[in-house]
Amino acid sequence: MARKTGKKFQAAAKLVEIRPYQLEEAIPLLQKIKYVKFDETVEIHMRLGVDPKHADQMVRGTVVMPNGLGKSKKVLVIASGDKLREAQEAGADFVGGEEMVTRIQTQNWTDFDAVIATPDMMRSVGKLGKVLGPRGLMPNPKTGTVTTDVAKAIQEIKAGKVEFRVDKTGIIHSPVGKLSFSAGKLAENATSLIQAVMKAKPAAAKGKYVKSLTLCSTMSPGIILDNSVLNAQKA
């Protein structure tokens, strides 16, 4: 099976020229070279000219994809009092207080895609840093996941809100939709992400901010994008 998959990947790779592509031509090519049966996630990878070891060069933020991500995220809300009921009514998948913290600590439970916490619960939620941090799930006020307005936070995440953060190698990896989306919708989502990353450029970043952009799907080879996409404006 592995050998068969390898041959299909190699066949797909042969259809991708080693040159920068315009976003409008890269997306249809990505859809053309699909060789697996499931609906793959389309991703953008941005290599940035920053050193994440320095706090003043950290790049992070959020963006709501105009066309969603093709699947509804499972949201955990850790709160107390009336906020528990508010979270349930807003469509949270899991709602609780200290017992949720204990469940994650004792069972290493992470069957959710996003975590929202109210400020009063952060003393307890802070204990989960070693579990949630490496998975990019730790609530943070900067990304709107530590908030008293839990209903709004849930709605944004369900609508396709994406949190991006540069990794230790200086790369941002982010989903922008499903391969079954129309080329236009994928282009809109990709442009929204790229613009959000551009706006998040830290003042301390020197030299070329975006070194390279690559488009790919879950199983595909990468397609290098032309830097002109950095100047694209949403309609």
User: What's the pTM?
Assistant: 0.75
pLDDT score at 190: 95
**What is the radius of gyration, based on Cα positions, of the chain?**
19
For the chain, which domains are there? 17-69+161-231 (3.30.190.20), 75-159 (3.40.50.790)
Q: Give the Cα separation of 93 and 177 in Å (integer).
A: 21
Cβ-count burial of 164 within 10 angstroms (0-12 exposed, 13-18 middle, 19+ buried)? buried
Cβ burial 200-225 (10 Å sphere, 16+ → b, else e): bebeebeeebbebbbbbbebbbbbbb
pLDDT score at 46: 96
Q: Cβ distance 185 to 67 under 8 Å?
A: yes
pLDDT in tens, the chain (235 residues): 333 458 888 888 888 989 999 999 999 999 999 988 999 999 999 999 999 889 899 998 889 899 988 878 899 999 999 999 999 999 999 999 999 999 999 998 999 989 999 999 999 999 999 999 888 889 989 888 999 999 999 998 988 888 898 998 999 999 999 999 999 999 999 999 999 999 999 988 888 999 999 999 999 999 999 988 887 654 4
pLDDT score at 5: 58
